[in-house]
Amino acid sequence: MRENDPLAAFWMPFTANRAYKAHPRQLAAAKDMYYWDVAGNRILDGTSGLWCSNAGHCRAPIVNAISKTAASMDFGPTFQLGHPLAFELASRVAELMPDGLDRIFFTNSGSESVDTALKIALAAQRARGQGTRTRLIGRERGYHGTGFGGISVGGIVNNRRWWQGLPGVDHLPHTHDLSRNAFSKGFPQHGAELADDLERLVALHGAETIAAVIVEPMAGSTGVLIPPVGYLQRLRDICTKHGIILIFDEVITAYGRVGGATASGTWGVTPDIITMAKGLTNAAVPMGAVAVHHSIHDDVVNNAADGIELFHGYTYSGHPVACAAGIATLDLYRDEGLFQKAEELGSYWADAAHSLKGKAHVIDIRTIGLVAGIELEPRAGAPTKRATELFHACFDNGLLVRATGDILALSPPLIMEKSHIDEMFGKLGDLLATIA
């Protein structure tokens, strides 16, 4: 080590490292709705960690399942072998997916789930004799993690600027439209026609070159962009018409965030493939998964020559400790009715969030399920600074929120009560007034 600085070695992800290390804020413990920092201050978790601890923190059944499994079989490969927990979790996940999406491929993260889904889509088209279909379509302001596949189909300029992505990728326009949809509760009214842009891409490139379209049903990381009424169904219809595989990236929306196990199921639009991660294990152990329609699985697997059908997988696909965490998590979601929470608390949540309308700097509030996006007017000449300052002020006052650009996103654990909602929006309302 060159210097005697305990913070020097960890090159932090998606972090302004210099600013952080000048003013570190470190978490030390977590339980249910709260974190504690290293100084012992309690912080209400308004973001489920990073959209992932949906059942709250350090839940005993998950902790116990992890420690029991780590002590009995810490690791077991799933290449040409297997173990019962992986098969059990796959069946449990399949039961929660929309009809037909009942073949489950395990990964370790959302990024890996996205790359896996894109590869499966390409493999399926090839297996169907549609090998000219190699083009992938994403959407502006989409976030699909940080693999080369994910940054290629994703639509965040800073994720793409530095690295050349995959060739042959195109993008749909994003659906964010403040001029027509500001201060929407639930699905915004305007913008279903933006899905028709897929017809334009089909006309431009030829359907026979397009393998798959991937979108987040609700774009989370770029600031809670909720799909307009009818938009997802239109995308579904156009994909079906042209033989394009539709992938919903549900890394954020799966496992109760907008109600139900998936946004697809809750909103009644079924893609061909769903990616997930985060809430699958309540984030207690890293894990992701891809739910694939059995017709796609069968095309790939049954058309293959003897031997390995899909040349893809990770050492830790179906890791026993992650599977144990996943099974315990799904039990908790079921036993505590956490997928119903969006329905039960949704209108209280939305009213509380929208009560910030009229506060300083707020130019939009959007809510769906148990998510809220609060968009601030960017400070002239210093975009993102205002939201970053508010994020820091919230943390220093005992509230964790997520700042993305000039948008604050809230997505607390689904075990929250009305008093937590009051505390979150009460604090935010007060702190907005303190920010220049």
Ligand X SMILES: Cc1ncc(COP(=O)(O)O)c(C=O)c1O
Q: Which residues bind ligand X (CB under 6 A)?
A: 109-111, 114, 143-145, 216, 220-221, 249, 251-252, 277
Closest approach, Cβ 216 to ligand X, in A, equals: 5
Beta carbon nearer to ligand X, 216 or 272: 216
Residue nearest ligand X, Cβ-based: 110
Q: How far is the CB of 118 from ligand X (least distance, A)?
A: 12
Which is closer to ligand X, CB of 51 or CB of 425?
51
Query: Which CB atom, from 105 or from 143, has the smaller least distance to ligand X?
Result: 143
CB of 111 to ligand X, least distance (A): 3
**Separation CA 299–CA 316 (nearest Å):** 25
Closest distance of CB 404 from ligand X, Å: 10
> Is 252 or 410 the residue whose CB approaches ligand X more closely?
252
Those residues with Cβ within 8 angstroms of residue 278's Cβ, 6 or more apart along the chain or in another chain: 50, 51, 52, 54, 110, 251, 252, 254, 255
> What CA–CA distance (Å, rounded) separates 254 from 171?
23
Listed residue (148, 142, 196) closest to 171, CA to CA: 142
Indicate the residue among 297 and 402 with the shorter CB distance to ligand X: 402
Nearer to ligand X, 130 or 146 (CB): 146
Q: Which one, 220 or 369, has the nearer CB to ligand X?
A: 220
Residue among 2, 7, 76 nearest 315 (CA): 76
* Shortest distance in whole angstroms from residue 276 CB to ligand X: 9
Give min distance, CB of 405 to ligand X, in A: 14
CB of residue 146 to ligand X, shortest distance in Å: 6
Q: Please answer whether residues 46 and 412 qualify as being in contact, where contact means their C-beta atoms are separated by less than 8 angstroms.
A: yes
Nearer to ligand X, 145 or 413 (CB): 145
User: 110 in helix, strand or coil?
Assistant: helix
H helices of 195-243, in order, are: 197-205, 231-242
- Contact status, residue 43 vs residue 37, Cβ threshold 8 Å: yes
355 CB burial (10 A radius; 0-12, 13-18, 19+): middle
Least distance between ligand X and beta carbon 322 (Å): 13
**Is 77 buried (19+), middle (13-18) or exposed (0-12) by CB count in 10 A?**
middle
Dist. CA 226–CA 198, nearest whole Å = 18
Residues 152, 150: Cα–Cα separation, whole Å: 5
- CA 184 to chain CA centroid, Å, is 21
Shortest Cβ distance from residue 196 to ligand X (Å)? 23
Backbone angle region of 179, left / alpha / beta, with phi > 0 → left and psi within -120 to 50 → alpha: alpha
Measured from the CB atom, the residue of 109 and 184 that comes closer to ligand X is 109
Q: 278: which 2 tokens?
A: 């985060």
CB of 89 to ligand X, least distance (A): 17
For the chain, give the longest Cα–Cα distance: 66
Spatial distance between the Cα atoms of 20 and 348, rounded to a whole number of angstroms: 35
Q: Which is nearer to ligand X, 123 or 252 (CB)?
A: 252
Nearer CB in complex with ligand X: 214/393: 214
Distance of closest approach, residue 158 Cβ to ligand X, in angstroms: 15
- DSSP 3-state of 159: helix
Q: Which of 151, 306, 259 is closest to 214 using CA atoms? A: 151
Phi-psi region of 15 (alpha: psi -120 to 50; beta: other; left: phi over 0): beta
Distance (Å, rounded) from C-alpha 165 to C-alpha 306?
Answer: 33
